Structure 1
Amino acid sequence: MKTLLLLLTLFSLNLTLFAQNAPAVDKEKLFDFYQSQRYADAAQYLKSIYGEELNDFKTLSQIGYCFLMAGNNVEAEKFYSKAYALQPQNLPILFSLGSINNKRGNSEKAKKYYGEIIKIDSNNFNVYKLLANLYSLPTDSMKLIYLLKANSINPLEGDVAADLAEVHSAYQQYEKAYNVLDIAIKGDSDNLFLQRAKLPIANQLKKYAEVIASGEKLLKDGADAGVIKDVAKAYYYTKKYQKAINLFKLLEVQAMQNEATLYYTSLSYRALKNYAQAAAYTQKTIDEAISPNTSSYYSLLGLVYEENNQLSMANAAYKKGLQFKVVPALYYRMAVFYDTRLKQGKNALKYYNLYLKSKPSIMDDKEEIRFTKDRIAQLNLTD
């Protein structure tokens, strides 16, 4: 009996000492930090009360959350990692650590934490969606696996449906892509994002009437360039060439034309036997297809050949560059090449004169202009 009384006395004394030593948190002050979204201040306040040598899961999670909301991912990970060591199967902690590492570019660590969630909850839609987003290439097999799993859990979720359709399209599985979007749209018929994503796939499946009907409705909500292109292509394939041209020209007005849209415009004019416009748009297509830097690339290629003493190949590369775009620098390069490497004065003189006629920049190319004028004078004297 005396032993029992002694134990009760010691237990009561320990409780009293713990109560006296437990950190006193000013709940009103902390609430004010939260209410005013001063999470960094809240985190520092809690650290000042509890210190960093903590073993309490709840407190570690709370401080980690404050740092996370404050955007301090380094400190947030430190406290969440301590909480993880105490409870490695806690889902909110695993999600937080995965998110932090994803934000910091540590995708492999993010995959590790998200992978642990799957072991605990194999039907967690959110984690499959997050894992799929960690793979940037649509042709990555793991991205497809995670998107398929997420879509099977919730086929109506729009973001996953759109991403999965994109992956199917990358594999040219257009029927699968179409069906995925079709199901999601039935669950959210007002989702314009999904409707726009469906148009190019429907075009691939030759569902032109659907593209036109759906696309024309979408165009009433705004002249989206992608929608214009898809509807115009559908008009082209249904032989409504003038309607196709009208839409393709809207893209030109917005300076959003590309090689493909110009090509279809040319084909439409050809079908209407308007050969002048067909020729004009074919030339536009060619110009669009050629990089404005192509002549510069050939100039560089010529210089490399020249430096390697492959003079005939250098000459061919320089001339090829001029076929794409006439630029003063290329004329100058050719003039110097004929002058110093091939010792062909007449050709050098020709290209020096062409260089000056091409109007090089007086400010940027003043040394080259001065040298050119001097060489022209010298070469004329030798003639």
Structure 2
Amino acid sequence: MKNLYFILFFLSIGNFCSAQVSLDKEKLLDLYQTQRYAEAAIYLSSIYPPETTDIKALTQIAYCNMMSGNLVEAEKNYQKINMIQPQQIPVLFSLANINSRRGNKKHASDYLSQIIFVDSLNFNAYKRLADFTDSTALKMQYLQKANKLNATEADVAFDLSRIYRNSKDYQQAYDVLKIAITADTSNMILQQALLPIANQLKKYNEVIITGEKLLKSGADGNVVMDVGKAYFFLKNYKKALTLFQMLERMSMQNESVFYYMSLCCREMKNYEMAAKYAKLTIEESISPNITAYYNLLGGIYDEKQQLNLATNAYKKGLSYSPNKNSYYRLGLLYDLKLKQPKSARTYYNLFLKSKDLDKDDQPQVDYVRARIEEFAKAKR
């Protein structure tokens, strides 16, 4: 759209200049050709008074201001044009673009809606409207209309298929992408987007054929994963495992990768490796912050005097990983509230043995050591 405006802009220069004898045609052309749009805007504004209603002059000034980044003045000029000649689509697009660049999505959407009112078959307006809405339902509606007007446009097809995929409407997502891919068989982005959807539709051979071609252009992790899954579902466990191990070497392993690796090893009767990857699957599925979360929960129960629940929460956190704070809090709980010095001493000692103690923990260390000495004296 920007290029279209640019071409129309220069085509109009000849007529515009010849109609205005006071303009220095060569100077204006030089400013345009050297892209000195700010100077061109100033020059044109010096020729025409602020109250001018000359549409061609206002259009040139507005365009120069927009191209030079003076969006405030550009908007003023385009709004003036819009008042003189309302509902001109190029002007409305310019106003939408200016508001988009200034972060005002609502005003940009309003101008695009005006374009739809004037031209209900305007593909670009629907496409842009989809970008500006946060509503999934409205985004789908705009993209569906744009896709109906131009089913081969790649960006719209990609965005619409993603919405269909998220709503688990895999057949719709597949159909949208296939039409766009047929029109652009070299579009690797669309082909890659198709793979997980084709897997959901059990089109495993198609995934492998397309995916293997994509892999020749580079081992993209998502493609490797999708092709690996296709091989797995076709029970070619050896090939699938090779691909999943490629992800491991690329440091792109995650819970899902380890899960499929474990399943492959199990199907291949390699139970030792299957167990290894099953354990890694479990580790990947657990947040590294899980102990901290249980500490938070335990602290809440502690403050509410729900001591058994607090104890269980702290211990549950420790079942995932050792934690000095959990040990310290359990020691305090058993010591000061549950009055169980033996259990308190156990957790105090575990706290003192924690490998991650630092100088900030020194006050707690001093306190714990003092309490352990008091326990020893009480036993004498």
- TM-score, normalised to structure 2, is 0.87
Q: Map of 1:172-183 to 2, 5 A cutoff? A: 172-183=168-179
Shift of 1:279: 1.2
C-alpha spacing 1:376/1:34, structure 2 compared with 1 (3 Å) = farther
Q: Select between 66-75 and 209-218 the one with higher mean Cα deviation.
A: 66-75
In structure 1, which of residues 299, 305, 325 is the aligned counterpart of residue 301 of structure 2? 305
Q: Distance in 1 between matches of 2:43 and 2:349?
A: 76
Shift of 1:268: 0.9
TM-superposition CA deviations, 1:10-45 (whole Å, max 9, x none): xxxxxxxxxxxx996555555444444444444455
Shift of 1:232: 0.2
Shift of 1:291: 0.9
C-alpha spacing 1:39/1:378, structure 2 compared with 1 (3 Å) = farther
Aligned match of 1:145: 141
Q: Select between 34-43 and 187-196 the one with higher mean Cα deviation.
A: 34-43
- State whether residues 23 and 49 of structure 1, in contact with CA within 8 Å, keep that contact through their aligned partners in structure 2: no
Aligned match of 2:96: 98
Aligned match of 2:109: 111
- State whether residues 155 and 180 of structure 1, in contact with CA within 8 Å, keep that contact through their aligned partners in structure 2: yes
3-state SS, counterpart of residue 222 of structure 2: helix
Question: Which residue identity does 2:166 align to in structure 1?
Answer: A
1:162 equivalent in alignment to 2:158:
yes
Question: Which residue identity does 2:258 align to in structure 1?
Answer: L
TM-superposition CA deviations, 1:164-201 (whole Å, max 9, x none): 21122222221221121111111111111111111111
Q: Select between 157-166 and 97-106 the one with higher mean Cα deviation.
A: 97-106
Aligned match of 2:340: 344
Q: Distance in 2 between matches of 1:242 and 1:41?
A: 67
1:207 equivalent in alignment to 2:203:
yes
In structure 2, which of residues 262, 267, 281 is the aligned counterpart of residue 271 of structure 1? 267
Q: Distance in 2 between matches of 1:79 and 1:266?
A: 65
C-alpha spacing 1:62/1:382, structure 2 compared with 1 (3 Å) = farther
1:245 equivalent in alignment to 2:229:
no
3-state SS, counterpart of residue 161 of structure 1: helix
Q: Distance in 2 between matches of 1:381 and 1:80?
A: 88
Q: Distance in 2 between matches of 1:349 and 1:222?
A: 58
C-alpha spacing 1:349/1:76, structure 2 compared with 1 (3 Å) = farther
Give the number of aligned pairs: 360
Aligned match of 2:222: 226
Q: Select between 260-269 and 163-172 the one with higher mean Cα deviation.
A: 163-172
Q: Distance in 2 between matches of 1:59 and 1:324?
A: 72
Q: CA RMSD in A?
A: 2.3
Aligned match of 2:350: 354
- TM-score, normalised to structure 1, is 0.86
Shift of 1:147: 1.4
Shift of 1:48: 5.4
Aligned match of 1:57: 55
- State whether residues 23 and 50 of structure 1, in contact with CA within 8 Å, keep that contact through their aligned partners in structure 2: no
C-alpha spacing 1:346/1:27, structure 2 compared with 1 (3 Å) = farther
3-state SS, counterpart of residue 284 of structure 2: helix
Q: Distance in 1 between matches of 2:40 and 2:357?
A: 60
Question: Which residue identity does 2:158 align to in structure 1?
Answer: A
Identity between Structure 1 and Structure 2 (%):
51
C-alpha spacing 1:371/1:205, structure 2 compared with 1 (3 Å) = same
Q: Distance in 2 between matches of 1:109 and 1:330?
A: 53
In structure 1, which of residues 42, 67, 70 is the aligned counterpart of residue 68 of structure 2? 70
Question: Which residue identity does 2:74 align to in structure 1?
Answer: A
Q: Map of 1:1-150 to 2, 5 A cutoff? A: 27-47=25-45, 50=48, 52-136=50-134, 140-150=136-146
3-state SS, counterpart of residue 105 of structure 1: coil
Question: Which residue identity does 1:265 align to in structure 2?
Answer: M
Q: Select between 250-259 and 101-110 the one with higher mean Cα deviation.
A: 101-110
TM-superposition CA deviations, 1:311-350 (whole Å, max 9, x none): 2221111111112222222222222332333333222221
Q: Map of 1:185-200 to 2, 5 A cutoff? A: 185-200=181-196
TM-superposition CA deviations, 1:46-90 (whole Å, max 9, x none): 455556555433333333323332334344323322222222211
Gaps of 5+ in 1: 1-21
TM-superposition CA deviations, 1:71-116 (whole Å, max 9, x none): 3434432332222222221111111221222333332222211111
